[in-house]
Amino acid sequence: MLLPDTMLRRRAYGSEVIGAALVAAARGVPWTRIAAQIGVPFETVRGWLRRFARRADLVRAWLLGLLDALADDPRLPSGQEGPLAGALSVLGELHAQMPSRWPLVASLPPWQLAARLSRGGPLSPAWPPGAINASSPVT
């Protein structure tokens, strides 16, 4: 099934909803209150936060690599307390710095940009995807 680029793989909610939950968690809001604020079942929000917390350092490193590759003169974000806040700060810097190279990106919300660049994957079980060599499928 093809998903719009506002969705993450294997998730029933859009990237903006999941992103809002992650931002609230980085600010220290309890997951039960986050679920009530965005109107999502408690177990769903808890699952997002647990999954992202397990790979926040990996997502941060991946986003830092993108920042270096996609921004003309990348500025590193200031250090944030905790892996979740660190990953979100890099996403914010990536979103802020990419328009200098690609002006159309300026119109995308940060979470839609993250969903597009990651092919909808940061919360999917098999992420990050391995490199695929389409010209030589047998290695």
Q: Compare 71 and 10 and report the one with higher pLDDT.
A: 71
Q: What is the pLDDT of residue 31?
A: 92
DSSP states of 75-131: -PPPP-SSHHHHHHHHHHHHHHHGGGT-GGGGGS-HHHHHHHHTTT-TTSSS-SPPP
Nearest to 83 by CA among 137, 136, 25, 42: 25
Q: Alpha-carbon distance 61 to 128, whole Å?
A: 11
DSSP states of 23-68: HHHHTT--HHHHHHHHT--HHHHHHHHHHHHHHHHHHHHHHHHHHH
Average pLDDT over residues 67-81: 80
Residue 102: pLDDT band (50, 70, 90) is: confident
Q: What is the pLDDT of residue 24?
A: 94
Q: Alpha-carbon distance 118 to 127, whole Å?
A: 9
What percentage of the chain reaches a pLDDT higher than 70?
Answer: 75
Q: Could you tell me the CA-to-CA distances from 52 to 57, 72, 77, 99, 127 in Å, in that order?
A: 9, 28, 19, 26, 11
Q: What is the pLDDT of residue 36?
A: 95
